[in-house]
Amino acid sequence: MNIVDVDLGARSYSIFVGSGLLADPDFLRQRVESNQVMIVSNETIAPLYLSLLENAFGDRKLAIAILRDGEEFKTFASLDAIITNLLEQRFDRSCTLIALGGGVVGDVTGFAAASYQRGVNFVQIPTTLLAQVDSSVGGKTAVNHSLGKNMIGAFHQPTSVVADISTLKSLPDRELRAGIAEIIKYGIIRDYEFFVWLEEHIESLLRLDEEPIAFAIERSCRDKADVVAKDELESGMRALLNFGHTFGHAIENVLGYGQWLHGEAVACGMCMAAELSNLMGMISDDDLERINALIARAGLPLKPPSDIDPNLLMDAMQVDKKNRDGRIRLVLMQAIGTCFVTQDYPNDSFELVLRGVEDNSNVRS
Catalytic residues: 118, 140, 182, 224, 234, 238, 242, 245, 249, 262
Report residue 132: phi and psi, to 5°. Answer: -65, -35
Distance CA 94, CA 82 (A): 16
Return the CA Rg of the chain: 20
Beta-strand relationship, 96-101 and 61-67: unpaired
- Are the C-beta atoms of 182 and 133 separated by less than 8 Å? yes
Cβ contacts of 284 within 8 Å, gap of 6 or more: 278
Give 286-289's long-range contacts (Cβ < 8 A, gap of 24+).
287/333, 287/335, 287/336
**Amino acid identity at 235:** S
Q: What is the DSSP code (8-state) at residue 61? A: E
Please name which of 178, 316, 155 lies closest in space to residue 246, comparing C-alpha atoms: 316
**Amino acid identity at 50:** L
